[in-house]
């Protein structure tokens, strides 16, 4: 609901309250909106510069790109009038210049970090865009495709029903509000996704040569990676024919658990490690007694360095 409308029609609060509510966004001047529960105010412009900045910062964090916090993202967005954070992938400081107050060193540093992380799956690309409501649905909606053309063809042909099916939402329940939001958002930001797709390299997941693995990381993965984000993006930029899907939680289907302590280095014994060890004990028991279930396998616990070595052997 527009703050304007709320102030005009509601009368359950003192006048001073309505008077202090912002009716226009301080960043772009678009009308402000209020959430249904009246707990949040937000700008109604989906491409409000402040949202673009927040999305760019989140993107950088996801990729483990350092030196791109809110202050620098604000400079880039306002200097170049960006309305799509993915445009960061097209940024060439030598050609485009640098915003006032940012050095070429910093700008080139950001770009060279990005360059090392341009390879990703289509679902990762869509997730990286940080579109509203799409974060958790990207894999379900885009994981089956290698091109935006194919994914959007399926989406547009299947409409809302397709979104509900893919996201496992029953179409007649209240939750389908979520499906509608997802659908509208993907339609609205379609051109943004297309605009930058050629600046990244989409991994062809659905080709026969692809080696596909699943892994989970414990809180520390080990030297030389400081953050998990850095590790994820680095791994998936190493080889053309390899993709590692990093899961948030450990399940039996996982191939590897990456943990700093796996090579004997001091590291916190996390719940994921305990869980993997418990799975592996069960696996050994089943193997010894000849009662292995279909697909049951050992979850190999390795350090980041060991994991990279294994990958190297796999793709040889």
Q: Is 114 in the site for Zn ion (CB under 5 A)?
A: no
- Judge whether 196 and 89 are in contact, CB under 8 Å: yes
User: Does residue 45 touch Zn ion according to CB under 5 A?
Assistant: yes
Question: Among 38-46, 83-91, 206-214, 225-233, which window interacts with Zn ion (CB under 5 A)?
Answer: 38-46
CB 229 within 8 A of CB 223: no
Task: Quote the DSSP letter at residue 24.
Answer: B
Instruction: State yes or no: residue 28 binds Zn ion (CB under 5 A).
Output: yes
Binding track, positions 151-190, relative to Zn ion; x by CB under 5 A: ----------------------------------------
| Contact in structure between 125 and 138 (CB atoms under 8 Å) | no
Single residue of 32, 43, 77, 302 touching Zn ion by CB under 5 A: 43
Instruction: Kindly provide the b/e burial profile for residues 199-237, where b requires at least 16 CB atoms within 10 angstroms of the residue's own CB.
Output: ebebbbbeeeeeeebebbbbebbbeebeebbbbbbbbbb
Q: Give min distance, CB of 22 to Zn ion, in A.
A: 10
- Assess 56 for contact with Zn ion (CB under 5 A): no
> Which residue, 28 or 154, has its beta carbon nearer to Zn ion?
28
Nearest distance, CB of residue 106 and Zn ion, angstroms: 27
Q: Given the rule CB under 5 A, which of 18-26, 137-145, 186-194, 259-267 is the region that contacts Zn ion? A: 18-26
Q: How far is the CB of 130 from Zn ion (least distance, A)?
A: 16
- When the beta carbons of 22 and 161 are compared against Zn ion, the nearer one is 22
> By CB neighbour count within 10 A (0-12 exposed, 13-18 middle, 19+ buried), where does 306 fall?
middle
- For position 48 contacting Zn ion by CB under 5 A, the verdict is yes
Cα torsion 304, 306, 311, 316: sign = positive
Distances (CA, A) of 115 to 202, 227, 233: 13, 18, 11
H or E element in which residue 141 lies: helix 138-142
Residue numbers at the binding site for Zn ion (CB under 5 A): 25, 27-28, 30, 43, 45, 48
């Amino acid at each position: 609901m527009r703050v304007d409308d709320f102030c005009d029609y509601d009368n359950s609060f003192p006048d001073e309250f309505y008077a202090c509510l912002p009716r226009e966004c301080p960043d772009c001047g678009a009308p402000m909106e209020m959430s249904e529960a009246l707990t949040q105010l937000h700008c109604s412009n989906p491409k409000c510069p402040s949202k673009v900045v927040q999305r760019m910062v989140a993107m950088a964090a996801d990729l483990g790109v350092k030196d791109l916090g809110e202050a620098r993202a604000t400079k880039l967005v306002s200097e170049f009038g960006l309305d799509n954070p993915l445009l960061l992938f097209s940024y060439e400081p030598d050609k485009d210049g640098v915003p006032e107050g940012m050095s070429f060193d910093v700008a080139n540093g950001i770009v060279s970090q990005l360059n090392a992380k341009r390879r990703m799956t289509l679902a990762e690309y869509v997730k990286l865009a940080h579109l509203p409501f799409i974060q958790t649905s990207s894999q379900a909606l885009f994981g089956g495709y290698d091109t935006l053309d194919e994914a959007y063809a399926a989406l547009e042909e299947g409409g809302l029903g397709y979104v509900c099916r893919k996201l496992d939402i029953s179409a007649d329940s209240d939750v389908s509000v979520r499906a509608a939001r997802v659908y509208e958002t993907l339609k609205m930001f379609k051109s943004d996704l297309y605009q930058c797709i050629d600046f990244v390299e989409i991994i062809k997941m659905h080709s026969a040569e692809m080696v596909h693995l699943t892994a989970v990381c414990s809180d520390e993965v080990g030297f030389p990676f400081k953050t998990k984000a850095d590790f994820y993006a680095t791994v998936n930029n190493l080889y053309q024919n390899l993709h590692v899907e990093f899961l948030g939680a450990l399940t039996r289907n996982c191939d590897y658990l990456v943990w700093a302590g796996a090579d004997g280095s001091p590291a916190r014994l996390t719940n994921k490690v305990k869980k993997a060890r418990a799975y592996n004990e069960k696996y050994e028991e089943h193997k010894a007694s000849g009662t292995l279930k279909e697909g049951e396998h050992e979850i190999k616990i390795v350090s980041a360095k060991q994991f990279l070595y294994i990958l190297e052997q796999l793709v040889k």
